Amino acid sequence: MIFYLKQKKILFNGVKFGAHISIAGGVQNAPKNAKDIGCEAFQMFTHPPQMGKVPSLSEKSVSEFKKELKKYKFTNFYIHAPYIVNFASQNPAIRHATISIVRNNLERADLLGASAMMTHLGSSREAGKEEGLKYVVKGLNETLEGYKGKTKFLIEISAGAGSVVGGTLEEIAWILKNIKNKNVGVCFDTQHAFASGYDLRSAEKVDEVFKKFDKLIGLEKLAVIHTNDSKTEFDSHKDRHEHIGKGFLGLSAFEALLSRPYLKDKDFILETESDLVEEDLKVLKDIRKNLI
């Protein structure tokens, strides 16, 4: 157990704030786009997520991307796999395509030098939850077979809508226990967790959630935090992101999260709409400033 609670003030030098960034015109544009809005870390796709056949990353684009990273002094960035994947599908063709898409994106992430790549797991609507979880484990094993890269692979907690897999810490813990690769981590999304029934609206509630996380999964598995307020009420099981402080989580949740010593070295990545994402970054930075 690495859980501890009692410090009220702590230097949050390790915390970096960022957002999901556009790659319009090529991945090499992402670092500048991130810097322009005040990011200290960032997240992106490696290609437009709606694309069918995905072209390889050229040596030139990879080289330019890495030069831009260095120019704008980014050390941490993350890749999100396309949303269309479904490891839990009863359809073998969909599961096979999912494995191919996710592995391809993981290799692309590693080529670019990403800290980690996260994916959703999909829905077990046709197969049922028990069978769907088995498909997920099998699919993740196939996806990660022979992978030797440095980019860490992450499972993202879901909002738990309907038959979507990964909406509880128990499900994620079961998957992590049963897959062969033990170096897989977790992406914790504040809105998804809140929608799945994990209250984060006070320091005490945050401690309860992460004490459970530590017991079931281990805080050492927590790699990054998607930082989103919620357009829907607690335990709604709906995936609806809102700008920071404007939703049902409210500012208190983010003040609580950023005050926790065991989260002091995590990156907090926004997935809010681009219209106010710069304002969201400023809100988070103001909270951090008041904690130092």
Domain 18-49+57-291 part of CATH 3.90.1640.30:
no
- Nearest-Å Rg of the Cα atoms of the chain is 18
Q: Which two tokens stand for residue 235?
A: 């335990």
Q: What global pTM score does this model have?
A: 0.94
**Tens digits of residue pLDDT in 58-80:** 999 999 999 999 999 999 999 99
Contacts 24+ apart (CB under 8 A), 196-200: 196/157, 196/158, 196/159, 196/160, 196/167, 196/168, 196/235, 196/237, 197/160, 197/168, 197/234, 197/235, 198/169, 199/234, 200/249, 200/253, 200/256, 200/257
Looking at residue 284, its pLDDT comes to 98
Q: Rounded to whole angstroms, how far apart are CA atoms 96 and 85?
A: 10
pLDDT tens-digit readout, 170-217: 999 999 999 999 999 999 999 999 999 999 999 999 999 999 999 999
**Is residue 31 within 8 Å of 65, Cβ to Cβ?**
yes
Interacting residues of 168 by C-beta distance below 8 A, sequence separation 6+: 160, 196, 197
Tell me, what's the pLDDT at 14? 76
**pLDDT > 90 fraction of the chain, expressed in percent and rounded:** 88
Helix axes 250-258, 203-216, angle to 10 degrees: 60
Helix axes of 59-71 and 92-112: crossing angle, nearest 10 degrees: 50
Residue among 155, 124, 161, 129 at smallest CA distance from 240: 161
| Number of C-beta neighbours around residue 191 at 10 A | 29
Q: Do β-strands 241-242 and 229-230 pair in parallel, antiparallel, or remain unpaired?
A: antiparallel
- Collapsing DSSP states into helix, strand and coil, what is residue 116? strand
Question: In the chain, what are the domain boundaries?
Answer: 18-49+57-291
